[in-house]
Chains A and B, each alone.
Chain A
Amino acid sequence: MAFEITTKTWPGKIPEITLGKDKGGGFRTVTIGGEETLPFHHFEGRTANRPVIALEVPDSDPENWIELAKEPYRDVLDNPVAWAKRAVDDFGADLLCLHLRGAHPDRGDRSAEECAELVRTVLDETRVPLIIKGPGPSDKQNEVLRKCGEAAEGEGCLLASAVEGHYQTLVATAIAYGHYLVAETPIDVNLAKQLNILISEMNLPPQRIVIDPLTGGLGYGLEYTYSVMERIRLQGLGGDPMLQMPMICFVGEETWKVKEVKTTAEDQPDWGDQRGRALLWEIGTAVSLLISGAGILVMRHPEAAAVVRKAVGELMGEGN
């Protein structure tokens, strides 16, 4: 009996989202979404856009990062604008994730106005789309992201992150200033859907929402995130409009804090060289989430990002 490929089609489709603003002068945009099939199933459906990689840009010296992760930015640790430019110009980031960690009351309590100014400068200097990540769910985050959203009006930024109990202000900000919103829920399909419904009910169109399923790093719940993403994508393609959003995974912050990455080879000889092990920890997390449906990977180390970028190219059927 000869073999014939049987293909599947789906009633649902992931809407496209274009982040950033095409205003000429070298300003770039990034389009994600547009999948009509499971990740990279080119043999039976269209994957309109390649998943993109955002590099992390902390707004202040990330003293909790390990040396290996700081290495590529050694001379610009407290200069987020220079850091951002390097991430784009030297390391090829498709977009940036500016983490306003310094706005946290425990980490300097930087004012919303200062944050907004930084956002404006980074946008103007780097000319790539921006994910603006606040200091964590709180009134402070609401205030900071509102100011930043205002300063970046019309720039099509992605605000991170709305969570249950702290989403109204962010939704209002996204609507008022033309931004997109990350909706984060703790590794659960139903909770993800519920938050998307709540946000949509405030009149932010579903096409302006990106799902953060919450990333469990390799060895720390990766399998939960992996399966929840597969289920979200299956239900979205199956026709559920409240689960048809592109997905974002914050890979860098979840991988670089774990013991297996931070421990040196001197302390654990049988774990092998720390550098390769740490990079692979980030790559392994990123690649597995890529094939379970991530549209945006937020990564930390440029070398890990480069390997993942190559994997994305191959998965998209380029260079074949």
Chain B
Amino acid sequence: MALTGLQIFKLLPNTNCKDCGFQTCLAFAMKLAARQAELDLCPHASEEAKEILGAAATPPIRLVKIGTGPREVTVGEETVLFRHDKTFYHATAIALSLTDTMPDDEIAQRISEAEGINFERAGENLTVNLLALLSESGNAERYAETARKISDESGMPLILCSDDPQLLKPAVDACAVRRPMIYAATEKNWESMAELARSFKVPLAVRHHGSLSDLHDLASKIREAGVEDLVLEPGAGTLAMALENQTLIRRAALEQSDKSFGFPTLVRLGGGDEGPLTVSSAATLAICKYASIVILDRYEPWMFLPLLTLRQNIYTDPQKPLQVDPVIYAIGEPGPDSPLAVTTNFSLTYFIVSTEIEGSGTPAWLAIVEAEGLSVLTAWSAGKFGGELVGKRLLEMGVEEKVSHRKVIIPGYIAVIQGEMEDAMPGWEILVGPEEAGDIPAYLKEVWE
């Protein structure tokens, strides 16, 4: 947990010797609290101070990186239980599994499908993140060869899945430079797995589906054996158990500074005979409640748009609304005679307005004006959506070339900007649209005929 300047000050010598470069110990303490200085600037700091400050500086949940290069996956370092308290930082990484018994061309196809999943939404690219290679052949050579091939041909980071350290070793060796994660250390194999992870400097998943205290003991032993990058997999046999375990692990890390639970977590789904919708409903819970990695042993192409959109929603910073690009969007297939409407670049506003226009059956142009991602009324109150500015932007965007008429619809809540817009857009008629997006279809039907 972070310390305040005063708490840090009490740990300093209070001699104001200026050796650290600051005028007083208090000034130095304030800089330390703000993370703008390091304790080693003070040559007189006690061992106790070093220890306490060192522990406080360590994030309660460790940041773990899997893979290398542009598709490197970063999970952990979360700081809250509820997203409204701050934000969730590192979105749940989705891993798709494949097995070494699949023919090479099928493996190649699955990889290219996984790499191809990419939905652009609100200025972000939604993708799946990892490939989980299961060893079903039982043949270490085949497994290592497959792992090497994937690691050579795909930029997606790998999870190497087997409980047999002997079988895993050649595969880990073959692609260690690409930093795969080993899955998983268990009660039975943990010593060899810890050795493998430590010697190849790769992250290690720790699985225990028994009680949380069993998982805790196992993670403690592996930490003591010198493995720093762990990912924890508690039991998730039912949704209630998944929720309980994930919640208690996150709480222990954040509220008790529990070191053995201070790691990202993992949920593996789809290994049983449940249908893809049931798997997806479990994935929904996992994304909302704290899983850093979800391995899907079963998946269908249609699962990804909903699940990745959910992930984007949950991991959006509540303080920084998503924004869409400020351009003129074609909704349906509008022509020069189609209606033209304008609103802000707050992604939610855009999505709702465009959905209603689409639902109306009347194709239209929707011009998005930059307003720092604020909604219409908020943007207007903050002086980001005044009539002069909106009018100017619309002309700059080239609305005159898009439509042959000279009419533009503004949101009903800001009817007040009508006059200013008329001044800013000579020759244009400024129409006041409805206040609520839900009334857009009726409005278009009535007004635009």
Using a CB–CB cutoff of 8 Å, the interface residues on chain A facing chain B are 1-6, 40-43, 64, 106, 216, 218-224, 226-227, 230-231, 234, 257-260, 262, 265, 270-277, 279-281, 283-284, 287-288, 291-292, 303-304, 307-308, 310-311, 314-317, 319-320
Contact = CB atoms under 8 A, between A and B. Distances in A.
B289 A291 contact: yes
A259 B358 contact: yes
A260 B303 contact: no
B198 to A, nearest CB: 22
Contacts of A64: 359
Contacts of B313: 218-219, 222-223, 226
B251 interface: yes
Contacts of A230: 82-84
Nearest to A222: B313
Contact of B314 (A43, A223, A260, A320): A223
A272 B256 CA distance: 44
Contact of A3 (B239, B261, B281): B261
Contacts of B277: 276, 279-280, 283, 303-304, 307
A221 B251 CA distance: 27
Contact of A311 (B82, B247, B281): B281
Contacts of A271: 119, 302, 305
Given A218-B313, A280-B280, A291-B289, A41 B247 contact: yes
B393 interface: no
Contacts of A272: 300-305
13 contacts: A2-B217, A3-B213, A41-B247, A218-B310, A227-B84, A257-B359, A270-B301, A272-B303, A283-B277, A307-B278, A307-B281, A315-B243, A317-B240
Nearest to A224: B348
A276 B216 contact: no
Interface in B294-320: 300-307, 309-310, 312-314, 316, 318
Given A216-B348, A218-B313, A226-B314, A320 B302 contact: no
Contacts of A275: 302
B260 A3 contact: yes
Contacts of A270: 116-117, 119, 301
Contact of B309 (A227, A260, A283, A291): A260
Given A42-B240, A260-B309, A291 B303 contact: no
B379 interface: no
Interface string B118-146: 01010000000000000000000000000
B244 interface: yes
B270 interface: no
Nearest to B255: A6
Contacts of A258: 351, 355
A318 to B, nearest CB: 9
A279 B84 CA distance: 28
B300 A4 contact: no
Nearest to B354: A259
B351 A219 contact: yes
A270 to B, nearest CB: 8
Given A273-B302, A276-B303, A314-B240, 13 more contacts: A40-B243, A219-B313, A223-B318, A234-B82, A257-B355, A258-B351, A265-B302, A271-B305, A272-B300, A272-B303, A280-B306, A291-B285, A317-B240
Contacts of B37: none
A258 B116 CA distance: 24
Contacts of A216: 348
A64 B239 CA distance: 35
A143 to B, nearest CB: 21
Given A2-B213, A5-B212, A311-B239, A227 B280 contact: no
- Which 8 pairs show the lowest CB-CB distances between chains A and B? A272-B302, A272-B301, A3-B216, A314-B239, A276-B302, A277-B302, A223-B313, A227-B84
B102 interface: no
B388 interface: no
B363 to A, nearest CB: 14
Interface string B327-364: 00000000000000000000010011011001100000
Nearest to B116: A270
